[in-house]
Amino acid sequence: MEKDIRKLFDLPNYVDRDKADANILKEVYNRMGNNYPYHHPLYAGQMIKPPHPVARKAYELALQVNPNNHALDGGIESSAMEKEAVAELAEMVGFKQHLGHLTGGGTMANLEALWVASKVHPGKKIVGSEQAHYTHSRITEVLKIPYSSIEVDSLGRMNMENLEMHLIAGDVGTIVATLGTTSAGAIDPLEDILRLAKKYNTRVHIDSAYGGYYRIAGRLTPYAKKQYGLVQEADSIVIDPHKHGMQPYGCGCILFKNPEVGKYYSHDSPYTYFTSGDLHLGEISLECSRPGAAAVALWATQKQFPLIAKGEFAQRLDDSLQAANELYMMLKMSDKFITFFQPELDIVLWAPRGERASAISDASAMLFDACTDQDVHLALYKYPISMLPEHLQSIEKDQDYLVCLRSCLMKPEHKYWVKFIFSVMDELLEF
């Protein structure tokens, strides 16, 4: 069946004969210039990481045929590559067997996990921490599953006493543990969650859309290492290759430990599934059409950067951890800033020093704007007052949140730039 890719284009085809309008492309080029410099280390704001060249090139090559990984009818090799790439992710998290596939992103992947959870424990509640991604409560609304939030401690981690209070009621079917919260990269205490899940017979779903790859990092704190060492005990895990995995949007991944959950997806498609008796990915996915190019790009990236501890990819994650730790230490040592807690992953939160929550919030917003003017791009976050750690209790709580600065140091190059980023902020606060 192997063919020269050029042969696929020998047939007359409108698309090949047509020329793209250069003026339209020029406008696209110009409009794309109206963006923040996401690829540059001075972009240190939101969770945005440039796709690696191997991912971009593999994606573009695959786009020449534009396979659809719904069925083998739509993408023979890209479907095989998806299964191989997903198996490598499953191996990374320590699943001995698995069922999984790529999705449009973390939200879709979590939706599948919670949908399966609701099939396994029909009518039962799903709980996640107050710092779980906002889409969990929305997904459960769509799926019509009851959902409750569990309190967090001052490190942004799920509070075990509050979790147990919910579990005692006996109506919880699934606990969502976040390994790498969106706001601060906090890591829920998976060890304790697994223990309580066993006691109260609930499922555990790990949302590590952001933090999943850190399982293979070397510079984790002992606490983080311990939690990451247990992820294979969960029932399902979400990891987003389009966050830390150097992939273009949209590329999420859902992994189930028990392949038997495939039975919940059972459906027939009167239009597809004819060309092969082998498993079509659409048979184990809620989405129908999905980009084969995303699978090809991920496959190629993982060939160049195997998902192994001490490998080049793991080293890049360590570089991000180093960047975050160095920025945190500079902020902590300075008398101009407050810090909240030491980062577990590569997200740092801080704010200019102040006496009232409202004044600190205003100063954060001003510093954010001033940094943007200097081409240093950060993010802002509404830090809940209830999460303020002990050492910041003297701050006057005149509002229920405090706007702080937030930086996702996802690019390994950030480790060479954090000193500069800090010095810009430090100088700006002279005035």
Q: Are 185 and 152 in contact (CB under 8 A)?
A: no
CA nearest to 262, candidates 91, 97, 74: 97
Q: Which one, 156 or 180, has the nearer CB to ligand PLP?
A: 180
Q: What is the Cα–Cα distance from 340 to 389, expressed in whole angstroms?
A: 7
Judged by CB under 6 A, which stretch of 5-13, 106-114, 142-150, 360-368 contacts ligand PLP?
A: 106-114
- Phi/psi zone of residue 415: left (φ > 0), alpha (ψ -120 to 50 degrees), beta? alpha
Q: Which residue is nearest to ligand PLP (CB)?
A: 106
Give exposure, 303-341, as e/b (b: 16+ Cβ within 10 Å). Answer: eebebeeeeebbebbbbbbbbbbbbbebbeebeebbbbb
DSSP for residue 386: G
Q: Which residues inside 268-327 make contact with ligand PLP, applying CB under 6 A?
A: none
Residues contacting ligand PLP: total by CB under 6 A: 15
- Does residue 182 interact with ligand PLP by CB under 6 A? yes
Q: Which one, 72 or 183, has the nearer CB to ligand PLP?
A: 183
Q: How far is the CB of 188 from ligand PLP (least distance, A)?
A: 11
Tell me the CB-side half-sphere exposure of residue 187, using CA atoms within 13 A: 25
Find the binder of ligand PLP among 74, 128, 241, 252 (CB under 6 A): 252
Q: Write out the DSSP string of 256-305.
A: ES-GGGGGGG----SSS--S-SSPPGGGG-S-SS-BHHHHHHHHHHHHHS
Q: How far is the CB of 346 from ligand PLP (least distance, A)?
A: 12
- Answer whether the bond into residue 250 is a cis peptide, omega within 30°: yes
Question: Hey, what amino acid is at 126?
Answer: I
197 to 236: interface string for ligand PLP, x by CB under 6 A = ----------x-xx--------------------------
- Does residue 246 interact with ligand PLP by CB under 6 A? no
- Does residue 101 interact with ligand PLP by CB under 6 A? no
376 to 415: interface string for ligand PLP, x by CB under 6 A = ----------------------------------------
- Does residue 178 interact with ligand PLP by CB under 6 A? yes
CA nearest to 97, candidates 238, 195, 225, 235: 235
Q: Which one, 98 or 133, has the nearer CB to ligand PLP?
A: 133
- Does residue 343 interact with ligand PLP by CB under 6 A? no
Q: How far is the CB of 106 from ligand PLP (least distance, A)?
A: 2
Find the binder of ligand PLP among 101, 133, 280, 406 (CB under 6 A): 133
Q: Which one, 252 or 292, has the nearer CB to ligand PLP?
A: 252
Q: Which one, 49 or 280, has the nearer CB to ligand PLP?
A: 49
Find the binder of ligand PLP among 41, 43, 45, 47 (CB under 6 A): 47
Q: Take residue 90 and report the two structure tokens written for it.
A: 């499953």
Is residue 383 within a helix (H) or strand (E), and if so which, with residue range? strand 379-384
Q: Which one, 238 or 418, has the nearer CB to ligand PLP?
A: 238
Residue 130 exposed, middle or buried by CB count within 10 Å (0-12, 13-18, 19+): middle
Question: Hey, what amino acid is at 394?
Answer: S
CA nearest to 125, candidates 197, 175, 200, 198: 175
Q: How far is the CB of 315 from ligand PLP (least distance, A)?
A: 23
Residue numbers of the site for ligand PLP (CB under 6 A)?
47, 105-107, 110, 133, 135, 178, 180, 182, 207, 209-210, 240, 252
